[in-house]
Amino acid sequence: MAEDKGKLDQAKGEVKEKAGKVTGDDKKKAEGFLDKAKGKAKEASADLKEKAGDLKEKAEDKFKKDQ
């Protein structure tokens, strides 16, 4: 299964937040907000990890060419 990069948490949070707004449930709205934030953090982390891997690969290629 492919890595979701926090998209699932963001979607779940959006649903919870909207449900909380409709029902007037402040706790549900807060849970939704936190789920969305968690998802965004996971997404940012996955993006940084991917970029770091790309940079490592480029550095290794450069090193091999210079040998």
Please report the pLDDT score of residue 5 as a whole number.
Answer: 85
Closest CA to 32 of 47, 44, 16, 46: 16
Please report the pLDDT score of residue 44 as a whole number.
Answer: 96
What integer is the mean pLDDT of 33-60?
96
pLDDT confidence band for 4 (50 / 70 / 90):
confident
- Whole-angstrom Cα distance, residue 61 to residue 53? 12
Which amino acid is residue 67, in one-letter code?
A: Q
Terminal-residue alpha carbon distance, the chain = 38
Q: How many CB atoms lie within 10 A of CB 12?
A: 16
What integer is the mean pLDDT of 13-36?
98
Q: How many CB atoms lie within 10 A of CB 6?
A: 22
pTM of the predicted model as reported, rounded to 2 decimal places: 0.75
Residues in the chain: 67
